[in-house]
Chain A
């Protein structure tokens, strides 16, 4: 299954046998006071700097979220998307829980974007799926519903089925659906990491869709977060995840190593190139 997203000059292919696609998570004000303040003041300089830094760190796609208290996402999201497009020419992932903000961003976007996200909740499916269809985008489906984020893998799988079914009924091709199994903090519940890995395996086998993961959540509230994140992303990729929403500068090295071991880096071109780059500096 191949999922294609694009910016004016660049197409990115997500799929098995391809190198793992890295989606930069850092344009997101949650937990970042400075960025949140700048966004509220309409100052987009930090955003552009962050976009450039992530692209240079090897991000294939950039997630763009402006959701924070006191911000009008409907006005701000398209502005920030425009500013990022003017800074880097790689595909974007338009990130908001507000369908109106998503539509406003879709109107200014050039190319085929990712939309982050739809959930298994009735109101979300009803509002977001028609936008995905109308604008020819790719949608990320989060496996949560009216009852929240599932604790076990079974309910995650069931919600994934529901989202795929509803999306296809709305005329969206299966390759334009990506499922996010929702990593939760292992610090709060030490069995939650395993539930996610199991869900990834089952959804891959039963639905064949591409899968993503906002992976950094797994280490929330624990020391040595990078260590945990790195262990987790490798397991996720082995289980079937084909793109990751992560802090690219930190996660790319271990993913290049994993891709090489898993035969998606022929003749180790990417792995060695990164090594050379690193040692030139």
Chain B
């Protein structure tokens, strides 16, 4: 009975709210997906945080610091949304540290030059937007609302990243080479952000039925590629895919084969920075333990106004 009501609600495009009955599978799927999303926002602070102290102008410094700060805010917001499902932030962070919860593999790639700040904003935030716009229609109310709120800022990030790339592409020969190199390194990992091909993705079935996911990985990936190709052309950079070609019949770009061995390798912990990212997060957490403890003790004794 419960299950039937639940599915009817979903069919009618009504949002599921925290107090509503929901199947365990639905709850668990959401916890996994939303916490992975939250962890991604937070771990994603590192590759860009890596360049804040080296940003080349006062303006660039402020934009990048504000951007990374936004990502922290997204993490916070998503942890709160996830907590509505009956799990605490502490537990979620513990799962991350125990490597039971994942985060987006894209953040396991190193940021080697300033152009990577452009590439990440343009491509990584760009891909995130495609995914998150789709998730605005997700069936779980708190998640949907989080996506609506977050997407506005992500669009901002995407434009700022693109601006860095555009500026460098029309700069000195060295700058243009740096921009092209960043595009070369981040292109394939970015389009792999949408996950395995639909034929390989084991959990899509229920997620689509429950309308947690509204579009398949391949649909989202195609959408991202279609809107990004023209942006690269405008600034005179070349997407590193010789098979990329407009297909009149499909009304979409055809593109080359992704390196799925690499994809699974990074997902399974063997990317260039997996260990580093996790260690960094753990260290910050451990270094802060005495501070959090002192704050708790103080709060027990007093109140600060």
Asked if A pairs with B, the answer is no
Give A residues with C-beta under 8 Å from B.
none
Give B residues with C-beta under 8 Å from A.
none
